[in-house]
């Protein structure tokens, strides 16, 4: 069993991001480029995003650690970031420059990483053949 290192890294990053939105959504929101305090409705959505990211992250990291196929979890990760990117693009003109760069840029990087993780070639470890025993 070999560990999918990229899957483990991507899953851990997504898990950490999700947990940060669950533990302290106000601070996490500022980290992602919004200096203002979000409304209660926005805080609800930030926590929902936190649950989503934590769930995808833990399942991606778990599959990577167990040497299982991570392609589906990478696609789920990319899909979550596509949703964030499309949603952000719909309000692009209303976002502050920091939100445009950090929020939309982060989503774009997430889409690229998720798609690459899903389509990258698999590496197979060579298995050593057992030496043949001489015939008696």
- pLDDT one-digit tens code per residue, 39-76: 999 899 999 999 999 999 999 999 999 999 999 999 99
Give the model's confidence band at 135: pLDDT under 50 very low, under 70 low, under 90 confident, else very high: low
Distance CA 38, CA 34 (A): 8
111 has a pLDDT exceeding 90: yes
Average pLDDT, rounded, for the chain? 90
Give the model's confidence band at 126: pLDDT under 50 very low, under 70 low, under 90 confident, else very high: very low
Q: Which CA distances in Å does 27 have to 4, 20, 81, 131, 132?
A: 31, 8, 20, 59, 62
H helix intervals, the chain: 5-23, 25-31, 40-65, 71-90, 97-99, 105-119
Q: Considering Cα of 18, then 25, then 92, then 41, what sign does the dihedral take?
A: positive
Number of neighbouring beta carbons within 10 Å of residue 132: 6
Polymer length in residues for the chain: 136
């Amino acid at each position: 069993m070999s560990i999918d290192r990229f899957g483990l890294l991507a899953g851990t990053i997504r898990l950490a991001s999700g947990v940060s939105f669950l533990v302290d959504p106000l601070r996490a929101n500022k980290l992602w480029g919004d200096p203002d305090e979000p409304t209660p409705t926005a805080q609800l959505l930030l926590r929902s995003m936190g649950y989503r990211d934590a769930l995808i992250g833990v399942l991606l990291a778990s599959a990577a650690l167990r040497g299982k196929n991570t392609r589906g979890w990478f696609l789920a990760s990319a899909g979550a970031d596509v949703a964030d990117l499309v949603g952000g693009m719909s309000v692009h003109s209303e976002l502050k420059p920091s939100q445009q760069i950090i929020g939309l840029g982060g989503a774009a990087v997430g889409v690229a990483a998720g798609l690459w993780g899903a389509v990258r070639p698999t590496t197979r470890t060579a298995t050593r053949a057992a030496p043949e025993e001489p015939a008696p």
